[in-house]
């Protein structure tokens, strides 16, 4: 297969970026999107041209490192991560535009690489259980209903890739934060810290420059883990309740 690529090239975080044209020739239709870029980069390197910089790690849809906007859609066509997109999804001869994830809180570092440390700082602000839980107890010793366990697992499926923030017109991270708040907050080990957690994470999210939920549901549409936007409503309720407690001087 053959493709015409328009790729965002940017020397560093402070330099202006631009779309540059490249040809991707002799691409097998079973190549993944990242493998296609590997082939293009091998050709560029052979011509002494700086290869296109992009992030990847597991290439199995697990780590959330790959962060390309393909034809305007974070992670591109289909419901998976960039590394799970295969070139057979495109037509031979297609023009494909490749940009980094676009969100104010994810500054571009170089070419297609963005800095997503803002997500790490949001997690540091409360996305954990600080109690020492000891070793894993026998599964049957902590009864959890199937409904709650399923909902917590749906939330825990978030891989923190950032596609939600990149898809949102407001650059909102509320799907990501609500997934973390929900998966920890639904389970007995996480419940005692629910108030402190949601207040800490939401305030850090605001501080990082992520916007409010736009109610477009674009986040849900591109989420490779199918995290539902309904978790945002749950997070807002928990944040409101914890904030009221804080205002009247109760422990949160
Ligand atoms: S490289 Fe790990 S999810 Fe794509």
DSSP 28-71: -TT-BHHHHHHHHHHHHHHTT-PPPP---SSSSSSS----EEET
Structure confidence at residue 135 (pLDDT): 83
Structure confidence at residue 161 (pLDDT): 98
Percent of the chain whose predicted confidence (pLDDT) is above 70: 100
pTM of the prediction?
0.94
Q: List, chain by chain if needed, residues with CB within 6 Å of any ligand 1 atom.
A: 56-59, 61-66, 81-83
The pLDDT of 200-211, averaged and rounded, is: 98
Comparing 13-27, 133-147, 148-162, 212-226, the range with the smallest average pLDDT is 133-147
Structure confidence at residue 137 (pLDDT): 81
Hey, which of 32, 58, 79 would you mutate to test ligand 1's pocket, going by the most ligand atoms within 8 Å of its Cβ?
A: 58
DSSP 161-185: --HHHHHSTT-B-HHHHHHHHHHHH
Centroid of ligand 1 to alpha carbon of 66 (angstroms): 5
Domain annotation for the chain: domains and CATH numbers: 3-113 (3.10.20.30), 117-247 (1.10.1060.10)
Q: Tell me the pLDDT tens digit for each residue of 71-86.
A: 999 999 998 999 999 9
Residue 171 near residue 211, CB atoms below 8 Å: yes
Q: Tell me the pLDDT tens digit for each residue of 13-28.
A: 999 999 999 999 999 9
Q: Tell me the pLDDT tens digit for each residue of 86-119.
A: 999 999 999 999 999 999 999 999 999 999 999 9
């Amino acid at each position: 297969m053959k493709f015409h690529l328009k790729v965002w090239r940017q020397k560093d975080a402070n330099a202006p970026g631009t779309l540059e044209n490249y040809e991707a020739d002799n691409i097998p239709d079973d190549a993944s999107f990242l493998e296609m870029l590997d082939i293009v980069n091998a050709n560029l390197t052979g011509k002494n041209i700086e290869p296109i910089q992009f992030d990847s790690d597991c290439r199995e849809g697990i780590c959330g490192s790959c962060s390309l906007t393909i034809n305007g859609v974070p992670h591109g066509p289909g419901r998976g991560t960039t590394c799970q997109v295969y070139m057979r999804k495109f037509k031979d001869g297609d023009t494909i535009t490749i940009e980094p994830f676009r969100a104010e809180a994810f500054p571009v570092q170089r070419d297609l690489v963005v800095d997503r440390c803002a997500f790490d700082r949001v997690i540091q602000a409360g996305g954990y259980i600080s109690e020492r839980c000891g070793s894993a107890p026998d599964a049957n010793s902590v009864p959890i209903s199937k409904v709650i366990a399923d909902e917590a697992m749906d939330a825990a499926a978030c891989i923190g890739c950032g596609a939600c923030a990149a898809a949102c017109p407001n650059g909102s991270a509320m799907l990501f934060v609500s997934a973390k708040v929900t998966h920890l907050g639904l389970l007995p080990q996480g419940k005692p810290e629910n108030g402190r957690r949601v207040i800490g994470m939401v305030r850090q999210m605001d501080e990082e420059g992520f916007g409010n939920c736009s109610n477009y549901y674009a986040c849900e549409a591109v989420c490779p883990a199918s995290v539902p936007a309904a978790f945002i409503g749950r997070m807002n309720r928990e944040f409101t309740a914890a904030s009221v407690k804080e205002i009247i001087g109760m422990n949160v």
